[in-house]
């Protein structure tokens, strides 16, 4: 029972035969739903904004990175964090 609730919280769309529904019979929006897609967090809020000192971003898997780390190229890091 707890495992099903955690599964629905992470990805409710994978439970296609019977997703967890709200009171008005709509499926709950899971964490993966709020991150992916056109209305997701990455495309809606994080990518494509006009800012200073930005770089083109491509999200890839880094075999040497841990889950809480973010990798950027050395030249970009030097430009962003230069002391002068």
Mean of pLDDT values over 25-48: 74
Mean of pLDDT values over 47-75: 72
- pLDDT surpasses 70 at 52: no
Q: What is the reported pTM?
A: 0.42
Please give the pLDDT value at position 16: 60
DSSP-derived letter for residue 18 is S
Q: What angle do CA 8, 68, 36 make, to 5 degrees?
A: 40
Residue ranges covered by each domain of the chain: 2-80
Distance CA 74, CA 63 (A): 17
Beta bridge partners of 21: 27
Sign of the Cα pseudo-torsion (22, 37, 35, 2, in order)? positive
Please give the pLDDT value at position 17: 73
The DSSP code sequence of 32-51 is: HHHHSSTTSHIIIIISS---
CB 79 within 8 A of CB 73: no
């Amino acid at each position: 029972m707890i495992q099903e609730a955690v599964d629905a919280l992470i990805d409710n769309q994978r439970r296609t035969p019977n997703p967890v529904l709200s009171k008005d019979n709509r499926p709950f929006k899971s964490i993966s739903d709020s991150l992916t897609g056109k209305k997701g967090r990455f495309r809606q809020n994080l990518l494509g904004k006009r800012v200073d000192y930005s770089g083109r971003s491509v999200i890839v898997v880094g075999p040497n990175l841990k889950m809480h780390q973010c990798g950027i190229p050395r030249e970009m890091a030097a430009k962003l964090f230069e002391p002068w």
